[in-house]
Amino acid sequence: MKKVLHIVGARPNFMKVAPIHRALSERGALQQCLVHTGQHYDVKMSDVFFTDLGMPAPDIHLGIGSGSHAEQTARLMLELEKVFTSQKPDLVSVVGDVNSTLAAALVAVKMGIPISHVEAGLRSFDNAMPEEINRILTDRISDLLLTPSADADANLIREGLEPARIRLVGNVMIDSLLGARDRALKLSTLADMGLSPRAYAVCTLHRASNVDDPKVLTGLLTALAHVAERLPVVFPVHPRTRKRLTDLGLGPSLERTPGLRLVDPMGYLEFLALTAQARLVFTDSGGLQEETTVLGIPCLTVRENTERPITVEVGTNLVVGTDPVRIQQAADRALDGQGKQGRIPELWDGRASERIAALYERVLGVAPAELRAASA
């Protein structure tokens, strides 16, 4: 039986791999191996997601941990080469844009193993973002480029990649969201936090450009404090962000800011319960821009760009940058009922994983030559 090897490394990967793994398991035509690189190794950033998403325990856990981009990628490549040698996969399936994604693709292409990149073609056009480099390089060497939206197809074609390698399959992360939403809404998350639906905001911050620069981070926190004067702002604090707050001595003052609630990272279902019933979301996360578009929640992206422009063009997302005055003005408009309205993009229908599973079967079983032709 042909084997697909899935790579997961960080929290955003889990929501993308879980429905693909499930769809392939239900069809039963392909063997699977799930490799967790351990790029995210905190229990609240990793283990709880496997439970919430109904994923099986990883077949292989590498426990790579943190480090500089070069250090982490190098360790990943060394360990993944051993895994690929022992497992002998017929296809390596990578998702997203984290270091594990690029490392796996580099090892696979050197070993002559076909690669499928799920969520291909996304571009922020900002090469200062490590994720942008990961996206570009992974797309360049992958055999199959599975895109979430038509703009991603256009990016790949503009870069000169062969149309035969590109498949518009939809947004697989939305499969997880739609499959879990009802379960999430049954949780007592809001009641436990003393919150009412549509009467609070949610914030997530983790990108280096936002949390590593004291001036930028302080400005963002000033904007959040302004919003917290109007309604509670729930802020699940990423470990990276927590460390920066501690290093800058900002933790105690934030804890005392009226209306601003700093909480630990949450599991997938618990966080979905929170975001699905929020009035407004602030984020520098790519995935949350997509989720809020499907949930119909106004989203303010506190970055200067986005690799998911479809969420701005047709969704509920507005890119507001990091200027605190601009963020406050946009937040006030949203809270006054003038938040961005949107619609759900094409093929964000909860069935992307089914399309991917059928494609993997075709390229590995029914028509195995298709994969070779696509990369020729």
Confirm whether 96 is domain-assigned.
Answer: yes
Rounded Cα gap, residues 47 and 36, in angstroms: 10
| Residues 50 and 122 placed together within one structural domain of the fold | yes
| Residues 318 and 365 placed together within one structural domain of the fold | no
Partners of 34 in the beta sheet?
Answer: 6
| Residues 266 and 296 placed together within one structural domain of the fold | yes
Confirm whether 130 is domain-assigned.
Answer: yes
Question: How many structural domains compose the chain?
Answer: 2
| Residues 352 and 368 placed together within one structural domain of the fold | yes
| Residues 42 and 76 placed together within one structural domain of the fold | yes
Confirm whether 162 is domain-assigned.
Answer: yes
Rounded Cα gap, residues 37 and 40, in angstroms: 8
Confirm whether 343 is domain-assigned.
Answer: no
The catalytically annotated residue of 40, 117, 206, 226 is 206
Structural domain that includes position 215: 179-338
Confirm whether 78 is domain-assigned.
Answer: yes
- Phi, psi values for residue 129, rounded to 5°: -85, 120
| Residues 310 and 185 placed together within one structural domain of the fold | yes
| Residues 186 and 304 placed together within one structural domain of the fold | yes
Confirm whether 359 is domain-assigned.
Answer: yes
Q: Residue 40's domain is classified under what CATH number? A: 3.40.50.2000
Q: Catalytic: 61?
A: no
Rounded Cα gap, residues 1 and 29, in angstroms: 8
Range list of β-strands (E), the chain? 3-8, 31-36, 60-61, 91-95, 115-118, 144-147, 166-168, 201-204, 233-236, 260-263, 280-283, 299-301, 317-319
What pLDDT does 250 receive?
87
| Residues 68 and 29 placed together within one structural domain of the fold | yes
| Residues 131 and 260 placed together within one structural domain of the fold | no
What pLDDT does 44 receive?
52
Tokens 């392939």 found at: 24
| Residues 104 and 184 placed together within one structural domain of the fold | no
| Residues 143 and 246 placed together within one structural domain of the fold | no
**338: exposed, middle or buried (Cβ count in 10 Å: 0-12, 13-18, 19+):** exposed
| Residues 79 and 28 placed together within one structural domain of the fold | yes
pLDDT tens by residue, the chain, 376 residues: 999 999 999 888 999 999 999 999 999 999 999 999 986 555 555 567 788 998 999 999 998 887 889 999 999 999 999 999 999 999 999 999 999 999 999 999 999 999 999 999 999 999 999 999 999 999 999 999 999 999 999 999 999 999 999 999 999 999 999 999 999 999 999 999 999 999 999 999 999 999 999 999 999 999 999 999 999 999 999 988 999 999 989 888 888 899 999 999 999 999 999 999 999 999 999 999 999 999 999 999 999 999 999 999 999 999 999 999 999 999 999 999 998 889 999 999 999 999 999 999 999 985 444 444 454 4
Rounded Cα gap, residues 38 and 11, in angstroms: 10
Rounded Cα gap, residues 70 and 134, in angstroms: 12
